[in-house]
Amino acid sequence: MTGIIYGSSTGNTENVAKMIADKLGDSELINVSELSADIIQKFDTVLLGSSTWGCGDLQDDWDSGIDTLKEADLSGKKVGFFGCGDSQMYADTFVDAIGLLYEAIDDSAAKVVGKTSTEGYEFDSSKAVVDGDFIGLVIDEDNQSEMTVERVDAWVESIK
């Protein structure tokens, strides 16, 4: 079973989380404000989502959720990332939030899944880029909303 843990302020990330859940099937949506280590433990696969705010910050509900995530035993679990950002207004910190989530679990024994190409996006810098690819699914509802469904579909297929 897959746990889809997200933080959303405007609803964009929550909508993407719901799309992912619909495409995946056997999954559970969890708002990060309700996250506990026990919740993480019941899943084989954990998908972590956040919008990016300010100068590359996690969505507010992740403030305590990030500590829970860092303390969780992710050994043997598959972990994927998804996030929303604005590539034009915040080209220097585009989807940094999922890069911060990745950094939080980088030393764990989790298996990271779902990297995607940066092709088709215009931005200057992002903590979500690792070894030339995005660490996960990247959605820009502000400038490329017409690509959202296609990007979600392709990403879900890649992590199945």
- pLDDT digits over 54-89, tens only? 889 999 999 999 999 999 999 999 999 999 999 999
Structural domain total, the chain: 1
State the pTM of this model: 0.96
Q: What is the pLDDT of residues 1-50, one digit of tens each?
A: 999 999 999 999 999 999 999 999 999 999 999 999 899 999 999 999 99
Q: Residues near 116 by Cβ (< 8 Å), separated by ≥ 6?
A: 133, 134, 136, 137, 138, 151, 154, 155, 158
Any idea what the CATH number is for the domain that residue 129 is in? 3.40.50.360
Q: Which candidate, 113, 115, 117, 126, places its Cα nearest to that of 147?
A: 117
Q: How many CA atoms lie within 13 A of 29 on its CB side?
A: 17
Domain housing 126: 2-159
